[in-house]
Each structure stands twice: as C-alpha cells, then as structure tokens.
C-alpha cells in the first residue's frame, strides 16, 4: 500500500437510555436519494434558531445496529489488515455516549471487537494457510500510565513507552498472547476486561476510567517465498470526556477525570497541529497520543467512530465531539505494508537491535505454571509465551526458542514477532557460536538450557549496554544543560549591565537625540561666537548710531536673500545684524524663525514690510526708566542705512565682505516691503510679527 489515507469518520447517535429525556436535540438527516452524505444536525446552544450541520459519509442513527456498523465500516478493513497493514479503530465521545457499547457490546449485541475477531478467524480459514498466526494484546492507559490487562491487576506494573531506532513507539513489556479460536479469545478477553478500570458516575453506571486498547496481530509466513507479512488491528475504546458538574464525581473520580480530560485535550491538540501542518506535533504530551502516534499522521489506516449522546443536556459535548471529528477527517496517514524478507541476511552488529527485555506470559494464560501472589514478577531473562491451549499437543515439534520482542503501534512484545529484515534470529547466532553440528548432538533439554543461558547472557549484556548508553546520554544532557545555564547566566549578566531594552530604550533614544541636539547647538553657538566676535570687535569701534545703521543694512540684505530663498545666507546676515543690534527682540525672533526654516527645509516668507514712515521720530521710545530701546514695534528696516553705506564705501575694492556682493538699493528695500503677506509655518510661537 502506498500513498496517503485520510482517517475515515463514522458518527453514531445512541438511543435514549432509561430515565433520560430525549428532547430531539440532535438529529440525523439523510440525502433524499440516499447517495450523498448524511448530516448530524445540532442547534447552536446560544441561538437555537441556528442549526449546525456536520456532513459525514457514515452516520448511524438511534435505530442502527451493531451489525450495520460492522458490515459497513469495519469489515472492509479486515482485508487491509491481511494485506500487512496496521489499522486503528477508535471510539470517541463524551462519557455515556456509547463507546464501550459500540466497541465491546454485550452478549446479545456484540460490538466491533468480537466481530473483528470472528472476521479475522474467518479470513484466516479462507486463506487455507497453516502458517497464519493470530495473537492478542490488551492494555489500558489509566491516569496517564500504561498497564497490561492480560496480567493480574494487583501486580501489573506500569509499562514504559519507548521508541525504537526508526521512531516507532512501543509499550515495552506488553504481553502478546497467541489465539487459535474465537472461543479462546473470548475467554481471554472477558477475563481481561474485568481488569479494566471502571467506575460508576451519575451519567454511567459503568463508566470507563481508562482508555483501553486491544490489538490483534496476524502474521502470515510464506516459507516458499521466504517472506512474511504482519498486519495489525488496534481497537481503541477511549474514555469519555467528562463534565464534572454532570458526572458528580468524588475526589477519586475527579483525579481520573482530570487525567482523561487532559489526554483527550492533547489528542485534540495533536489533531489540530496535524491539520495546521505544524513542525512540532505534541505527541509526547500524553501517553495516549504517544501510543496513537502511528494512527494519527503515521503509517496506519484509521477509522474514528464518534459516539453521540442524544438530548440537549449533551449538546455542547456533541458539538465538541463533532468539531474534533471534522478536524480528524483531514488527518492524513501513510500506510505501509509490514513485510519481512526472511532470506538470510548479512549479519549486522548485534547491538543494532535492542528489543525490550522479554516478559513472561500473563498469569491468565499460564494455568500450568505455579505462579501466585505479589512475588510473581516478570523474569527479565527469557520470554516464555505459554503454548496456545488448542495447539498444546502439536507444539512439541515447534521450537521453544525465545522470540524477539515486537515493536509497533502498541509495541506488542510477542514470541513469534518477525525480526526486522536483515536481522538474524537469536537461534542462528547461538548456532553460529556453538556450531550447528554440535547443536544436533544435544538433547532438547540441553539445547533449551544452552539457549536460556545464552539469552540470559545476551540480555544482561544488552541491558548493561543500554544502561551505559543511558548514563552517557544523561551526562551529555547534564553537560548541555550546564552549558546552557552558564550561557544564560552570562547573557543575563550582560543584559544587566546594558540597559534593559524594553523599558529604557525610548529614554536612551531621547537622551541620544538631546545629546545630538545639544552638540549641534553648541557647535552652532561656537560658530556664532566666532562670527559674532569678529562682528562684535567691529561693532565695538562703532558709535551706537553706526552700529544701528550697520545692523539695519545687514537686515535689509538678509531680507533680500530670504526673499530669493537663500535662507542660509539670510540667516548669516541676520546673525551679523544681531551683533550690531543685540537687543532687537524682533530680530532675535526672525533669527529663530529662519533657523527653524533652514533646519526643517521649510520655505520662509517674511511678513510684509510696513510702509516706510515719512519721518522718523528721533526720540524713539523710552522705557519705564527713560532708557531708549528698540521696541518690538520697531521694524528692522527702520534701522538707519548710513552705517552700511559707509561700510560699503569703505570696502569698495577687493573686499570679501558679502555686503559688497549685494548692491543694496533703497528700491530693493522698498520692493521687499511690497511682498504679499504670508506666514511661515513655525513651531515657535512668535510674540509679534517681524
């Protein structure tokens, strides 16, 4: 089998049970011609006029039978299993929605599990091959721990979940029991089902407190073609999500409920992550998802049966279940055929395969062995799966060699599990070391003893090797962690020394801006001072009247330049003017205005010049103490021109004075005064117009 396969969804609405109100809250509608999909219709809990419709190809209403579900959706998968592929069927739904009924059923209404077993045996018989073997394993996940249901509940240890070299997840030490008939299976299954954690809640008198997974494995060996196929079917009865308000759980049940809800929530997260194409799928967040890894986005074919409880009471849960189903519908698997080439392969390094330590057969299957009480612990050295009762007599000729443990979706440890292609069997290695002729001369008992010894030595060696590897790995991890901690400390230290980016960055940026601004201002002041001192030296030698005139001349020149748009030159000239008339407020304002315009690249349009007064009052204005000042009302152009004229005359030739380059005429000044009024946009609020 190749390509991708989407998980198939079947939805089943259970009938009303005793004392339950069936208010027709959830309905199933079918296409009129019966060809298209069917719909599960659920009213929106917040607005009953709105109905959510979920389409599924397989919808089973309250009258549906166990047989219908099996024939329509499950039986076709038996062929898939016999083609060497792993199939996973899981029942999902809120507590008391009918998952266990669907999967297990009752004696009168057998569910998926017994029907699958029957079909598997039918298929086996149809194949007419004597080398088809079936085996079963059964486990539960209770409060996020795995337990073998084929061993005595009292002594059942927690089973570790591991991963092999090729990334397959398996439950280490899980028993796998060969079965020869449906009856044999039923005997084992009914015994094991009693071990399952079940408890009474308000919603279900016999509520599953764990997720149960039953695996049937079929191994088909074709010795003439020297290959074998291994197909598997995992039948999973999930515990139901629980609303503790409805279940009325006591503290023990609450703890179970929390574990159930958590694992189901992780299941939802895994499906969500797969739908999103996330780079990390949180399989490891719960044992359930870890074990179902192969079924969700892995290499198996999947069928999800969504069980729904009728009635408004379960409406929200039903919606949750259906949403989960819709998301799961898009999960793609890549089923693979588990085929093994049995031809002799070149010998690999023995340590390349590290199967989990073998485990004894479960108590329920060892009626002949005297095992009882808590001291009965699995012997790690040799796996001895009890012979199948029906084959007990025929097993004389079969090798009693311990078999390599199995690895798969549920990592079934199984006596007859095929080893990976290219890996020699343990017996062949033993034969190699002792010489095949030597083996031939030994009695069966001796062979068994030698095998047992060899196995013990080998297992001990592998355990030691594994311990060593684990120790090294731990050391490496510790080293890495230490390094990381050191690096982190260094980083934090550095960060402490630096100012924290988040909080102080804006402040620092502001400081830097201020700093730059101050520096620029300082440079400007220095520049100004340098220029100013020259002008001041000159101003010092002039009479007050001449200073004023000179200042005025500079102002006029500056104005002419500002008119032309030479703002920088205008600014220099205004500053020079300032050296001669330092107290002129309007001049100061003008300097600030033009400075701002230069800095911001803004255009500057001076305010219109006031018409020239015919005659100036000599007295000017006097302040409160009688001192003559240039008032704010006084225009800069009101300053006397004589000084500038004198200066121009004095520097008539060869002078580099910029004043000389601009032939200042009265008409220019006049022209300036006729400039239409416009205001420059300026952030500095001016007290009066210049």
Ligand X SMILES: Nc1ncnc2c1ncn2[C@@H]1O[C@H](COP(=O)(O)OP(=O)(O)OP(=O)(O)O)[C@@H](O)[C@H]1O
Q: Give the residues lining the site for ligand X (CB under 6 A).
A: 14-15, 17, 93, 95-101, 204, 206-208, 239-240, 307
Find the Cα–Cα–Cα–Cα dihedral 102, 104, 106, 112, rounded to 10°. Answer: 60
Nearest distance from C-beta of residue 112 to ligand X, angstroms: 12
Nearest distance from C-beta of residue 36 to ligand X, angstroms: 24
Residues forming a β-bridge with 28? 40
Nearest distance from C-beta of residue 11 to ligand X, angstroms: 12
Query: Does 100 belong to an annotated binding site?
Result: yes
Determine the 3-state secondary structure of 162 from DSSP: strand
Q: Report the residue number, 39 or 60, with the smaller CB distance to ligand X.
A: 60
Nearest distance from C-beta of residue 99 to ligand X, angstroms: 4
Residues forming a β-bridge with 330? none
State phi, psi for 26 to the nearest 5 degrees: -120, 130
Nearest distance from C-beta of residue 307 to ligand X, angstroms: 6
Which residue in 132, 660, 140, 609 sits closest to 410, CA to CA?
140
Query: Does 298 belong to an annotated binding site?
Result: no
Q: Report the residue number, 13 or 570, with the smaller CB distance to ligand X.
A: 13
For the purposes of burial, counting CB atoms within 10 Å of the CB of 240, is it exposed (0-12), middle (13-18) or buried (19 or more)? buried
Q: Report the residue number, 184 or 242, with the smaller CB distance to ligand X.
A: 242
Residues forming a β-bridge with 213? 139, 236
Residues forming a β-bridge with 628? 622
Query: Does 228 belong to an annotated binding site?
Result: no
Nearest distance from C-beta of residue 484 to ligand X, angstroms: 43
Nearest distance from C-beta of residue 14 to ligand X, angstroms: 4
Query: Does 97 belong to an annotated binding site?
Result: yes
Nearest distance from C-beta of residue 67 to ligand X, angstroms: 12
End-to-end CA gap in the chain: 92
Q: Report the residue number, 308 or 581, with the smaller CB distance to ligand X.
A: 308
Half-sphere exposure in the Cβ direction for 685 (13 Å, CA): 1
Query: Does 532 belong to an annotated binding site?
Result: no
Determine the 3-state secondary structure of 58 from DSSP: strand
Q: How many angstroms separate the Cα of 43 from the Cα of each of 95, 309, 322? A: 20, 14, 13
280/462 Cα distance (integer angstroms) = 32
Query: Does 586 belong to an annotated binding site?
Result: no
Q: Report the residue number, 244 or 673, with the smaller CB distance to ligand X.
A: 244
Q: Report the residue number, 98 or 402, with the smaller CB distance to ligand X.
A: 98
Q: Report the residue number, 110 or 640, with the smaller CB distance to ligand X.
A: 110
Six-digit token pair at 436? 């095949």
Determine the 3-state secondary structure of 42 from DSSP: strand
26/96 Cα distance (integer angstroms) = 15
Q: Report the residue number, 94 or 180, with the smaller CB distance to ligand X.
A: 94
Query: Does 106 belong to an annotated binding site?
Result: no
Query: Does 528 belong to an annotated binding site?
Result: no
Determine the 3-state secondary structure of 218 from DSSP: strand
Which residue in 87, 97, 327 sits closest to 217, CA to CA?
87
User: Which helix H or strand E contains 505, and what residues bound it?
Assistant: helix 501-541
Binding-site members are: 93-100
Binding-site members for ATP are: 93-100
């Amino acid at each position: 089998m190749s390509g991708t396969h989407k998980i198939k969804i079947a939805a089943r609405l259970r009938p009303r049970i005793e004392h339950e109100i069936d208010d027709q809250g959830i309905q199933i509608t079918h296409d009129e011609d019966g060809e298209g999909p069917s719909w599960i219709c659920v009213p929106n809990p917040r607005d009953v006029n709105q109905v959510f419709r979920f389409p599924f190809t397989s919808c089973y209403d309250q009258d549906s039978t166990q047989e219908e579900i099996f024939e329509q959706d499950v039986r076709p998968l038996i062929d898939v299993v016999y083609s060497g592929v792993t199939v996973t069927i899981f029942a999902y739904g809120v507590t008391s929605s009918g998952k266990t009924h669907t999967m297990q059923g009752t004696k009168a209404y057998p569910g998926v599990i017994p029907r699958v077993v029957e079909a598997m045996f039918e298929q086996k018989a149809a194949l007419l091959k004597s080398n088809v073997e079936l085996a079963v394993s059964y486990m539960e996940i209770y409060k996020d721990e795995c337990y073998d249901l084929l061993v005595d509940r009292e002594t059942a240890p927690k089973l570790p979940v591991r991963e092999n070299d090729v990334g397959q997840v398996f439950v280490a030490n899980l028993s796998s029991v060969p079965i020869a008939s449906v009856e044999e299976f039923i005997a084992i299954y009914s015994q094991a089902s009693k071990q399952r954690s079940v408890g009474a809640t308000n919603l279900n008198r016999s509520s599953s407190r764990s997720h149960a997974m039953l695996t049937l494995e079929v191994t088909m060996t074709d010795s003439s073609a020297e290959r074998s196929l291994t197909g598997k079917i995992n039948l999973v009865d999930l515990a139901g999500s629980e609303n503790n308000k409805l279940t009325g759980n006591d503290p023990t049940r609450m703890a179970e409920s929390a574990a159930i809800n958590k694992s189901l929530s992780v299941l939802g997260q895994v499906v969500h992550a797969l739908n999103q194409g996330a780079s990390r799928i949180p399989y490891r967040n719960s044992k359930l998802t870890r074990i179902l890894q192969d079924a969700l986005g892995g290499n198996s074919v999947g069928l999800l049966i969504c069980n729904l409880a009728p009635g408004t009471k379960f409406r929200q849960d039903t919606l949750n279940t259906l949403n989960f189903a819709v998301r799961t519908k898009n999960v793609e698997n890549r089923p693979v055929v588990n085929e093994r080439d049995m031809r002799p392969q070149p010998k690999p390094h023995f340590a390349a395969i590290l199967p989990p330590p073998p485990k004894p057969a479960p108590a329920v299957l060892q009626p002949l062995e005297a095992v009882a009480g808590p001291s009965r612990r699995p012997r790690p050295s040799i796996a001895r799966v009890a012979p199948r009762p029906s084959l007990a007599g025929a097993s004389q000729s079969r090798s009693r060699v311990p078999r390599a443990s199995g690895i798969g979706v549920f990592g079934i440890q199984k006596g007859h599990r095929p080893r990976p292609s290219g890996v020699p069997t343990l017996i062949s290695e033993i034969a190699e070391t002792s010489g095949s002729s030597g083996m031939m001369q030994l009695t069966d008992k001796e062979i068994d003893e030698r095998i047992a010894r060899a196995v013990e030595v080998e297992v001990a060696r592998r355990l030691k090797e594994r311990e060593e590897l684990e120790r090294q790995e731990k050391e490496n991890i510790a080293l890495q962690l230490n390094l990381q901690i050191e690096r982190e400390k260094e980083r934090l230290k550095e960060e402490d020394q630096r100012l924290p980016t988040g909080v102080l960055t804006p402040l620092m940026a502001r400081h830097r801006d201020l700093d730059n601004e101050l520096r620029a201002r300082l440079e400007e002041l220095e520049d100004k001072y340098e220029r100013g001192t020259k002008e001041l030296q000159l101003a010092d030698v002039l009479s007050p009247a001449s200073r004023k005139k000179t200042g005025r001349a500079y102002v006029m020149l500056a104005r002419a330049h500002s008119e032309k748009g030479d703002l920088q030159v205008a600014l220099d000239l205004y500053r020079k003017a300032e050296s001669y008339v330092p107290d002129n407020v309007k001049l100061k304002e003008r300097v600030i205005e033009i400075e701002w315009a230069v800095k911001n690249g803004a255009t500057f349009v001076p305010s219109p010049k006031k018409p020239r007064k015919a005659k100036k009052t000599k007295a000017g204005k006097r302040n409160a103490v009688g001192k003559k000042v240039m008032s704010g009302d006084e225009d800069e152009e009101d300053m006397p021109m004589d000084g500038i004229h004198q200066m121009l005359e004095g520097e008539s030739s060869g002078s580099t004075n910029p004043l000389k380059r601009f032939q200042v005429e009265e008409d220019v000044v006049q022209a300036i005064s006729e400039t239409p009024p416009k205001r420059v946009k300026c952030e500095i609020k001016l007290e009066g117009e210049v």
